[in-house]
Chain A
Amino acid sequence: MQEAITTSPASSPTTEEVDSVDPAIRIRDLDFLYGSNQVIHNVSLDIFPKEVMAFIGPSGCGKSTLLRCLNRMNDLVDGARIGKGSIEIHGVDLHDKSVDVIELRKRVGMVFQKSNPFPKSIYQNVAYGLQIQGVKSKRVVDQKVEESLRKAALWEEVKDRLNENAYGLSGGQQQRLCIARTLAVEPEIILMDEPCSALDPVATGRVEELILELKNEYTIVVVTHNMQQAGRISDRTAFFYLGKLIECDLTKKIFLNPSKQQTEDYISGKFG
């Protein structure tokens, strides 16, 4: 745990580096509404390749909504729509007519707050994404399942019981299984919506370690209620309040020397 905290800032890009790299996700002037209720106000934000970005803020501040905008999961909600502004991934506007939402979701994976493996075997859970894409070859699927489970640091624990029901796993294992399931479809960006909120501290620690490992290969956006967690795992942190982006900067700076009063109040526990 300690090690994680010390290594994380070291590997994160400095402000100068950030400016020179093309962002993986570029959000510009985004307004988002549920019906007539505006939940995101004029948010602009860049997320860079292979960094861990944490969204923090009190409940109802729009951080989860923003996350779900990034792979258009909000399409499922009746009346959800974009007011103005755009979200681009590699320069492509996600709401362009030519964007196939299925392809988008393969590239932008998502891990949910409540671990929700399918009530099937561990193997079938990880293979699911490949099977719905029509991958038939058993060899390819087997290989991919093992690879994904290894990446999710779950292989050693489950390799002898791949055919058992996933609900026999502990909560933390289930969440890592969900991460493995996401990894199997080879995304580039992984969105995590409070992935540890239902886990005990030990399981949380393992998931956090996993996130730090994964950021070598993936761009990761984490929504979290837990400020210490944001401090431990993220390179940069964005603080939201009442649907507005208050501040976004290197995590270290946000926690040690925030530039906005609201941020400081929230960090120091004056509200929220």
Chain B
Amino acid sequence: MSPEKEPRHPFATRLTRERVQESVMFGLLRGMTFFVLFCAAFLFWDIISKGSSKVFEGDELINWEFLTEHPQTLHVIGEGEDEIKLSSSNYYKLKDEKMLNKWGEFRQSDEHDPARRELAARFSQLQNEWALESLLVADEKFLVRERENAANKFAFWKEMLADPKTTAEDFEIKVEEVPSMVTQFMLGHFEKERGRLSLVDEKVTLFRARHYPKIENLSTAHAEEVEKAYLAFLAKIPEAYNQSVAAFGGEITNSYDEFVQTEGPKEFGRFAEALVAYSAARNVLLGPDHDLENWEDLQASLAPFKQAMAVSLPSKDYAYSGGGIFPAIIGTLLLVIGAMAIAIVLGVFCAIFLAEYGKAGKFLSMVRLAILNLAGVPSIIFGLFGFGLFVIFLDWNVSLLAGWFTLAFMVLPIVITASEEALRSIPQGFRESSLALGATKWTMIKTSVLPFAMPGILTSSILGVARAAGETAPIMFTAAYAKRSDLPWEGLEHWTDFFFQGVMALPYHIYVVSAKIPQNAYTADMQYGTAFVFLLLVVGVASLSIILRNRLRKKYRW
């Protein structure tokens, strides 16, 4: 630009310091804002594009399996183009189908009838064995054997107690430690007995508990007393055992009858299972030296059928990469709704006290300061606080209730501050005219302050919803399970149990899948899908509160 062409008049543009500053600042401000926008856009685009591919995967418009199923192991069959992705439930369904086919083929084949006859013969042999060997005879032998065993054990222990010096030398311990060592032996023995006599384990446990003081404070006299009691106790076992064995026998006969009728693989499976359970009880009752010939014959005759049931469907398994996130969606909804209900009730009551009843002064400003500080506490601290107070001290365990209160305390500062603000923004005239018409203070608040402040309170709670739904740290110790097969309303013994169960939650699920589960080609999909659904959920809950707020606003405007 040549100097001649430059216009020369008082308002001509000149390159002054202020002008440079102006344009630099403008560029800086715009650049930073665009940078923030770009980052936010990238984040949302990332979640939405990758997440929606999971949610809208498959033949149908929406991948319903992802939204309605439990998280499952993903089974991938085949490779490359032909690979089939199946969640556990579908995989096992497919396997069942294959098994049914194989079973059907077996039934059509020539091998079936001989095998069937063989099994029938062996089974009736076993039944004869029961009839011949009256269980009472077995009882007597059983009792003699058991008593002998017990007496031997006790004799050994009493010996150790009677001669502590030798015992101490043998075991290289101090003399005064001998009784406590024998106590350990005795407790260990009862523990073993409980496992061996599994059909009456409760009775053994009860016996041990009843005599625990004597066992703990062991002396020769005490050992003798315990022995006497134990020998008496053993007399009660055969009857209980017989009842259980009879029940097992009934179960075996029933399942066999059913198998005979249907000739189906499931029924055969039940029959085989019942035999296994029975054999354990039988071995205890008949003793180790019993003749096992019939038993082994029977087992051999089962083999062709077991062969017909065995199918293989080779697959690569990826934990947590299949199925869906339904329990986590439900859990998050429950957590958010409960926490917000508690936070709004607590928060509004606090705010009413602060705004309407509290007299301005040091105490009130301290309370306000405390509340504001609370808002700055990291969420993991709230998690630990909830864990200490609700889970441990109040003994609520990892439960919905503990999670509700923890989350509620976390969003409480937001709710209190904003509710107080909303209450204060109600014109003083409403309060005065209400009081002048003869209202008490509470009536005044209830009828002519709170309803009009509700839109403002709800606005604040929207912020709370997003925060409560999104936090992982406060619930990871208090309410969230990494995996739970029951939905919150399933398997409740009493309705109060509902509040004392842990749930799955979306943010915690994302954390578990991305931080704890070994990563593979299929977990990333799962995380993005979960994040996307989570985003939609928060938007949904927030929109609900916005709609509610707008309705109230329309109703009460002044």
- Give the interface of A toward B (CB within 8 A): 71, 73, 76, 78, 102-103, 105-106, 109-110, 112, 114, 116, 118-120, 128-129, 131-133, 165, 167, 178, 181-182, 185
Q: Which A residues are CB-close (under 8 A) to B432?
A: 73, 76, 110, 112, 116
| A73 → chain B closest CB, angstroms | 7
B52 within 8 A of A: no
The secondary structure that dominates the B interface is helix
Q: Which A residues are CB-close (under 8 A) to B213?
A: none
Q: Which A residues are CB-close (under 8 A) to B440?
A: 102
A-facing mask of B431-447, CB < 8 A → 1, else 0? 11111111110010001
- The answer for the CA separation of A167 and B447 in the assembled complex, in Å, is 17
- The answer for the CA separation of A200 and B359 in the assembled complex, in Å, is 39
Interface centre among B429, B437, B440, B555 (most CB of A within 10 A): B437
B287 within 8 A of A: no
A118, B448: Cβ atoms closer than 8 Å: yes
| A62 → chain B closest CB, angstroms | 19
B436, A132: Cβ atoms closer than 8 Å: no
Closest to A166 in B: B558
Q: Which B residues are CB-close (under 8 A) to A116?
A: 427, 429-430, 432-433
A-facing mask of B125-159, CB < 8 A → 1, else 0? 00000000000000000000000000000000000
- The answer for the CA separation of A13 and B456 in the assembled complex, in Å, is 53
Number of A-B contacts (CB under 8 A): 69
Q: Which B residues are CB-close (under 8 A) to A110?
A: 432-433, 436
- The answer for the CA separation of A178 and B438 in the assembled complex, in Å, is 14
Closest to B437 in A: A129
Q: Which B residues are CB-close (under 8 A) to A102?
A: 438-440
A105, B433: Cβ atoms closer than 8 Å: no
A71, B436: Cβ atoms closer than 8 Å: yes
B438, A103: Cβ atoms closer than 8 Å: yes
B210 within 8 A of A: no
B556, A132: Cβ atoms closer than 8 Å: no
Interface centre among B431, B438, B555 (most CB of A within 10 A): B438
A116-B429, A167-B557 known; A109+B437 contact, CB < 8 A: yes
15 A–B contacts from the bound complex (CB under 8 Å)? A102-B439, A103-B438, A105-B437, A105-B438, A106-B437, A114-B429, A116-B427, A118-B433, A118-B452, A129-B437, A129-B438, A132-B434, A132-B443, A178-B433, A185-B438
Q: Choose among B429, B438, B555, B558 the residue that contacts A112 (Cβ–Cβ < 8 A).
A: B429
- The answer for the CA separation of A118 and B443 in the assembled complex, in Å, is 14
Q: Choose among B436, B439, B452 the residue that contacts A119 (Cβ–Cβ < 8 A).
A: B452
A119-B452, A167-B558 known; A132+B437 contact, CB < 8 A: yes
| A53 → chain B closest CB, angstroms | 18
Q: Which A residues are CB-close (under 8 A) to B558?
A: 119, 167
Given contacts A71-B436, A116-B433, A182-B437, 13 further A-B contacts (CB under 8 A): A105-B435, A105-B436, A105-B438, A112-B429, A112-B433, A116-B429, A119-B558, A120-B556, A128-B448, A132-B434, A132-B438, A133-B438, A181-B437
Q: Which B residues are CB-close (under 8 A) to A120?
A: 556
- The answer for the CA separation of A181 and B434 in the assembled complex, in Å, is 10
Interface centre among A71, A128, A182 (most CB of B within 10 A): A128
